[in-house]
Amino acid sequence: TFNGNWKIERNEDYEKFMEKMGINMVKRKLASHDNLKITLEQTGDKFHVKETSAFRTLEIDFTLGVTFEYSLADGTELSGSWTMEGDMLKGVFNRKDNGKPLTTTRIIQGDELIQSYNYEGVDAKRIFKKY
């Protein structure tokens, strides 16, 4: 289950990914130490997400397979949806400014939640532990 309170533990290639996203160096440095925490609550095919970071606090509701809007901390707007493939959450989003896809997955591996990202051929991971 994805349910629980998750706190960022480490990143892999996240700065490179943000660079591909067009985020400037100062923001990349800040964002790689954003102290991101997410709380996930799944009820059937509905998720409630609380996100807290150095940048902001927000709550999001989505239903698997249903398109919704999400803004990144820098204001970049995405539109897309999450689906479940086996034990994996798979997100397919498109940037509203340029139409390009950003794909992401969440899986539980041991005591970690691993979120992977892909944009324009660049992969990154953010790895969370329960708190």
Q: Which residue ranges make up the site for ligand MYR (CB under 6 A)?
A: 18, 21, 23, 49, 51, 60, 70, 72, 78, 91, 93, 102, 104, 117
Q: Where are the beta strands (DSSP E) in the chain?
A: 4-12, 37-43, 46-52, 57-63, 68-71, 77-85, 88-95, 101-109, 112-119, 122-130
Which residue, 17 or 109, is less far from ligand MYR as judged by CB? 17
Q: What's at 15, amino acid-wise?
A: E
Q: Which two tokens stand for residue 94?
A: 């498109």
Which residue, 74 or 110, is less far from ligand MYR as judged by CB? 74
Query: Nearest distance from residue 110's CB to ligand MYR, in Å?
Result: 21
Q: Specify whether the backbone of 86 is left (phi greater than 0), alpha (psi in -120 to 50) or beta.
A: left
Q: Specify whether the backbone of 60 is left (phi greater than 0), alpha (psi in -120 to 50) or beta.
A: beta
